[in-house]
Amino acid sequence: MPQSKKINPEEILKHHELKATPQRIEVLSTFLKRNQVMSLAELNKMLGKEFDRITLYRTLNTFEEHGLIHKIPDSNGNINYALCKHESLDHSHNDNHIHFQCTSCNLTVCLEELEIPIIRIPKKFNPVKYIFLIEGICEDCDGKVKKHKGLV
Amino acid sequence: MPQSKKINPEEILKHHELKATPQRIEVLSTFLKRNQVMSLAELNKMLGKEFDRITLYRTLNTFEEHGLIHKIPDSNGNINYALCKHESLDHSHNDNHIHFQCTSCNLTVCLEELEIPIIRIPKKFNPVKYIFLIEGICEDCDGKVKKHKGLV
DNA sequence: TGATATATGCAACAATGTTTCATTTGGTTA
DNA sequence: TAACCAAATGAAACATTGTTGCATATATCA
Ligand SMILES: [Mn+2]
Ligand SMILES: [Mn+2]
Ligand SMILES: [Zn+2]
Ligand SMILES: [Zn+2]
């Protein structure tokens, strides 16, 4: 039988040179369990109200600095968080992709396969990082609207 | 002598079907005076602490809904505000451009001439609005770093 | 099994978002 | 011009999130 790749939060943390504290393990496990974009509110809810919010704040900062997660800001200034996809346990990861957010239900997704196109900008601006968010309506919400309007 | 185009806040408001209240005139005048991207903090500072912050909050929302200004969110969830460029006083305006923000001094600029490229995304996502922010280092900050490192 | 650099938890404060509601007022009409 | 009224304002109140300082706890390593 093929050995399924086990995702061990402790090992991931150590590979990123982070102390494997219970809090970090819990946060990382939450990301691995849900495996989707999460808002701070959703994270707080999943972790339970016993989990210290300042610790979560610092944990998210630390995870981002070490390339475990990336932030996805939306047009209202709300920030969502997503795990960075890693091939195996090495440090390579790629956040340079487009994100989509449904303005109706707030579903937010990483479009990992869609790289952000490089744009030439005036030379007095030295580009470092690109953020490309597409806002719109997801399939589910679109369906509901059409159904409600009697179009289906 | 050529009659210089006078920008009258009251007329602009009325052309956008907004009551020309003293507060709105003051906010719009502030945008016209500065003629550049402003953060909420900068707006508050320019308006003075007598200006009610809830009124400012609602005024910004109203201005955005009516296409007078557009929001520019950055990767930290901070929002900057900029006047929408209008040809004359008609309602046509274009926010579909790229923005640049310096991560060192927070200078934020509208690159009006750079349209956001249209990207094909999976059909289950119905795109409505595109947000493209480029983060980097501006000329001034770049110069300071090089000077500090003795490279100039 | 210590030693220690780091992480955590709590207090405290700031900034901003958002709603409710009583009062004021800009624009319109008689 | 005076009166009317839908809309705007301002104050209060509350929530969320960001952020730092500091005392305590602990993961890791020698
Ligand atoms: Mn992503
Ligand atoms: Mn702009
Ligand atoms: Zn949706
Ligand atoms: Zn700069």
Rounded mean pLDDT, B113-135: 95
Q: Which nucleotide is nearest to A54 (CA to C1')?
A: C9
Whole-number percent of chain B with pLDDT over 90? 80
| Residue A26 predicted with pLDDT over 80 | yes
pLDDT surpassing 90 at residue A144: no
Averaged pLDDT, A68-84 = 96
* Calpha distance A132→A96 (Å, rounded): 9
Residue A61 has pLDDT above 50, yes or no: yes
> Looking at residue B4, what is its pLDDT?
44
pLDDT-based confidence at A151, cuts 50/70/90? low
Instruction: Please answer yes or no on whether B121 and A103 come within 8 Å at the CB atom.
Output: no
Comparison of pLDDT for A145 and A102, the residue scoring more: A102
Query: What average pLDDT does the segment A30-59 reach?
Result: 96
- Which ligand neighbours the alpha carbon of B141 most closely? 4
CA–CA separation, A70 and A33 (whole Å): 17
Q: Say whether residue A124 is in contact with chain B using an 8 A CB cutoff.
A: yes
Residue B89, pLDDT score: 54
The rounded distance, in Å, linking the Cα atoms of B12 and B25 is: 9
pLDDT of residue A7: 73
- Residue B144 has a pLDDT of 76
A131 Cβ neighbours under 8 A, 6+ residues apart:
A73, A116, B75, B131, B132, B133, B134, B135
Name the residue closest to C26, CA to C1'. B19
Q: Tell whether the model's pLDDT for residue A1 goes beyond 70.
A: no
pTM of the model: 0.89
Look at residue B148 and tell me whether its pLDDT is greater than 70.
Answer: no
CB-strand contact B21/C, under 7 Å: yes
Q: How confident is the model at residue A146 (pLDDT cuts 50, 70, 90)?
A: low
Instruction: Between B117 and B6, name the one with better pLDDT.
Output: B117
Q: Which of residues 115-134 of A touch strand C (CB under 7 A)?
A: none
* Mean pLDDT, all residues of chain A: 90
One-letter amino acid of B99: H
Q: Which two tokens stand for residue A150?
A: 């009697």
Give the whole-angstrom CA distance, residue A118 versus residue B117.
10
B41 touches strand C (CB under 7 A): yes
Q: B112 to chain A, minimum CA–CA distance in Å? A: 11
d(CA A129, CA A59) in angstroms, rounded, equals 22
Does A77 contact B at CB distance below 8 Å? yes
Q: Which long-range contacts (CB under 8 A, 24 or more apart) does A12-21 make?
A: A12/A68, A12/A89, A15/A89, A15/A90, A15/A91, A16/A66, A16/A67, A16/A68, A16/A91, A17/A66, A18/A62, A18/A66
Q: Shortest CA distance to B83 belongs to which of B46, B117, B33, B133? A: B33
Contacts of A95 in chain B (CB under 8 A): none
Condensed to tens digits (0 to 9), the pLDDT of residues B28-76 reads: 999 999 989 999 999 999 999 999 999 999 999 999 999 999 999 999 9
Q: Examine the pLDDT at B7 and tell me if it is beyond 90.
A: no
Task: With CA atoms as reference, report the closest residue to A103 among A62, A141, A64, A46.
Answer: A141
Put simply, the answer to whether B114 touches A119 (Cβ < 8 Å) is yes
Q: Using alpha carbons, list the distances in angstroms from residue B105 to A51, B101, B114, B135.
A: 35, 9, 22, 11
Mean pLDDT of A122-139: 96
What is the distance in angstroms measured between the alpha-carbon CA of B18 and the sugar C1' of C28?
14
Task: Render B89-108 in DSSP notation, one character per residue.
Answer: TSS-B---EEEEEETTT--E
Is the confidence at residue A50, as pLDDT, over 60? yes
Stretch B95-119: mean pLDDT, rounded? Answer: 94
Distance from the alpha carbon of residue A96 to the mean position of ligand 1, in angstroms: 8
Higher pLDDT, B146 or A66: A66
For residue B102, list its beta bridge partners.
B136
Domains of chain B: 9-148 (1.10.10.10)
Q: Please tell me which residue, A40 or A142, carries the higher pLDDT value.
A: A40
Q: Shortest CA distance to B127 belongs to which of A135, A13, A85, A7?
A: A135
